[in-house]
Each structure stands twice: as structure tokens, then as C-alpha cells.
Amino acid sequence: MKFFDFDHPFFRPLWRRIVTVGVTVTWGIFEFLMGNHVWGAVFVGIGALCFYGLFITFNPRDPEPKD
């Protein structure tokens, strides 16, 4: 089981990938500005993980059926 399933069909549209990354990074920046450095680091880290999974290694094709 994956923690985040970036191959899920929900993430095929580009706008959903942009919103997912944007919301997590924006919330992390907000937490940093409010003085909550641990939560800021957590959300910016999740945003970086989402950016990597949704833009760098993302494969928009349908996954191959498993036998």
C-alpha cells in the first residue's frame, strides 16, 4: 500500500495536480509565517513530495491491468 497513490485517475487533470501542490505549499508557508515551523516544514515537505510525484514522475496513461 502506498502512502500517496499518484497514479490514481483523480490526478489525471492538470488543474488538480496544480491545486494539490499549490494548497500544500501555500499552507506550509502560512504555517511558517504564523511561527509554527514544524507544521510549516511538514506541509512544505508534503508539497515537495506531491510536486515530485505529480509532475516529475507522473505517467498520465492508464495503468496496465495486473494479471
> What is the domain partition of the chain in residue ranges?
20-56
pTM of the predicted model, to two decimals? 0.82
Mean pLDDT by 10 residues, the chain (67 residues): 78 94 97 96 96 89 64
Closest CA to 54 of 2, 1, 8: 8
Burial label for 48, CB within 10 Å (0-12, 13-18, 19+), is middle
